[in-house]
Amino acid sequence: MDFDSLDWLRRNSPAWRLLRADHAALVLSFLGRIFVEENIRSISATELTTRLEDELFALNERFGEGTYPRTAKAYLDEWAQPDVGWLRKYYPPGSDQVHFDATPAVERALAWVQSLRARSFVGTESRLNIALELLRQMAFGAETDPEVRLAELRQRRAELDAEIARVSAGEVDLLDPAAQRDRYQQFVATARGLLGDFREVEANFRTLDRELRERIATWDGSKGELLDEVVGNRNDIAESDQGRSFHAFYDFLLSPRRQQEFSDLLARVQSLEAIGEPDPRMRSVHYDWLDAAERTQATVRLLSEQLRRFLDDQVWLENRRVMDILRSVEVHALALRDQPTGDLGHEIDGTAPHIVLPMERPLYQIRAKQLLDSDPDVDADPAEVDVSALFEQVHVDPTRLREAVRAALSGGTQVSLPELLTMHPLEQGLAELVTYLSLDNDSTFELVFDERRQEHVRWHDADGRQRKAILPAVAFVRRSPLPGR
């Protein structure tokens, strides 16, 4: 970063402003405990004021009266000022009480301060493995040559086969305690970082929505162009890199199988002796992720509803302007009513408009319902019922059936379904009959259904039993001369 960028951040960044504040320790310790350690995403002003009053009382008792002379409400109002930007002050939907939430600047400043603490153990192997794995995913994920992808997959399969062979022979490679602590430390840092990322994603969505509202407020084009602009921007938000990444992560959280897998793996890791005392926040970190993701989703839904109401207000203002123009026309017409018209006239295209009434449309005709008897045989023994037919799949070749229809139409312009089945009996039962009824995309013939008449179609199944189907009269009608005739 160059000098100008750093100087701008020093003067405008809320996180940098927090680190330079005289009471930065109070802000970071109090807001970090409430909004980061306890993962509270929204808290009422009354509860937050009470907890800050207790914190100020304890600090004044410890360091002397007057160390923090202002009231808790005054501190919170100052931290929520737009030029300070450490708290977001808002009214939740359906509530008339002020609520607070921390801004991403608090988490950024707290993360930087935590990185200043000396660490007794600094692991590097796990981060190197993550870096190599990310490079491998990017390199081969962008590869378009199938041979290169296959070569990589075969190499990975060979490595897995070799590892399987070693384990089968009793050679099991175990992670030493240092490697386990290294990976657990990296996991904890990543898990905590994700919670902070959700708050920043939510803030970015609010920024995009605010920019969109500014564009709507200053729009001077037509309403259609405005709607195209609004819909396009909302799609841009959902289809942006951040939006796609968030929705992919949210889909992962909603998968019961992956949640169960994560819970099982987390329980096994937390019980390892090598990691010592596990982080208590990690026991339910995936539920914290889910709560934070759901809050981000709720924010996006709320912004969409507010944007819709904002557009409705714009439409109402436009309708009011139209009414004002009409009222002005009426006033001018009344003022000119008594004046001579002279040769005033106007030509129109016709004496009456062309109107199509909704009641001119034909009414819907209810099709005859066919009864289906699906009652089981009560006298049959359930243990002797053969259910193998439920798992058998029958493939009917529609090409063969089309050729049969074309052959039947070679001597005439149409043929009914019973006549066709007389010439070509059903070989695959009901599945073949249904396929005949779906041959409606052929260029040489078309299906004509007559709902007023019914026909009976009979065939024998594989066991020799006769089957019967009752269906509307069906005929195959030739559209054009058959090819070659």
> Which pLDDT tens digit goes with each residue over 49-59?
999 999 999 99
> pLDDT class for 380, splitting at 50, 70, 90?
low
Q: Quick one: pLDDT at residue 79?
A: 93
Q: Is the pLDDT of residue 439 over 70?
A: yes
- Smallest Cα–Cα separation from 423: which of 436, 405, 440? 405
Q: What share of the chain in percent tops pLDDT 90?
A: 8
HSE, side-chain direction, 13 A CA sphere, residue 270: 15
Average pLDDT, the chain: 77
pLDDT of residue 30: 92
Contact 457, 419 (CB under 8 A): no
pLDDT tens for 8-37 read 888 888 888 899 888 899 999 999 888 888
Residue 438, pLDDT score: 85
Q: What is the pLDDT of residue 161?
A: 87
- Number of Cβ within a 10 Å radius of residue 475: 18
Using DSSP bridges, classify how beta strands 43-44 and 99-102 pair: parallel, antiparallel or unpaired. antiparallel
User: How far is Cα 115 from Cα 104, in angstroms, rounded to an integer?
Assistant: 17
Q: Are 482 and 410 in contact (CB under 8 A)?
A: yes
Residue 391 to residue 173: CA distance in whole angstroms: 45
For residue 73, pLDDT beyond 50: yes
Pick the residue with more confidence: 96 or 300?
Answer: 96
Q: Is residue 485 very low, low, confident or very high in pLDDT (cuts 50, 70, 90)?
A: very low
Please determine, for residue 255, whether its predicted confidence score (pLDDT) is greater than 60: yes
Place of tokens 């106007």: 346
Banded model confidence at residue 114, pLDDT cuts 50, 70, 90: confident
Half-sphere exposure of 91 (CA within 13 A, CB side): 5
Of 163-172, 254-263, 348-357, the range with the highest mean pLDDT is: 163-172
Enter the tokens of residue 299.
Answer: 């924010």
What pLDDT, on a 0 to 100 scale, did the predictor assign at position 48?
Answer: 93
Q: Edge to edge, what strands does the sheet with 99-102 contain?
A: 43-44, 99-102, 87-90
What's the pLDDT tens digit per position in 212-232?
667 766 766 665 666 666 555
Annotate 26-48 with three-state secondary structure: HHHHHHHHHHHHCCCCCEEHHHH
Predicted confidence (pLDDT) per residue in 313-327, tens digit: 666 667 777 788 888
Report residue 341's pLDDT band, with 50, 70 and 90 as the boundaries. low
Mean pLDDT of 465-483: 80
* pLDDT given for residue 71 in this prediction: 92
Q: Look up residue 130 and give its two tokens.
A: 């993550």
Does 452 or 394 have the greater pLDDT score?
452
* Token pair in block for residue 338: 């008594």
**CA dist list (Å): 365 to 196, 287, 448:** 60, 53, 17
Task: Identify the CA nearest to 34 among candidates 96, 92, 82, 100.
Answer: 100
pLDDT at 377: 60
List the structure tokens of 91.
């009214």
User: Is pLDDT above 50 for 482?
Assistant: no
pLDDT tens per residue across span 84-111: 889 988 888 778 889 998 888 888 888 8
Residues 442, 457 contacting (CB under 8 angstroms): no
At 190 the pLDDT is: 77
From residue 360, give the alpha-carbon distance in Å to each of 176, 355, 357, 363, 385. Answer: 83, 10, 6, 9, 55
Round to the nearest angstrom and report the end-to-end CA distance of the chain.
Answer: 80
pLDDT value at residue 74: 92
pLDDT above 60 for 237: no
Show the tokens assigned to 351. 């004496």
Alpha-carbon distances of 452 from 61, 362, 368, 420, 447, rounded to whole Å: 94, 18, 9, 20, 15
Rounded to whole angstroms, the Cα distance separating 10 from 4 reads 10
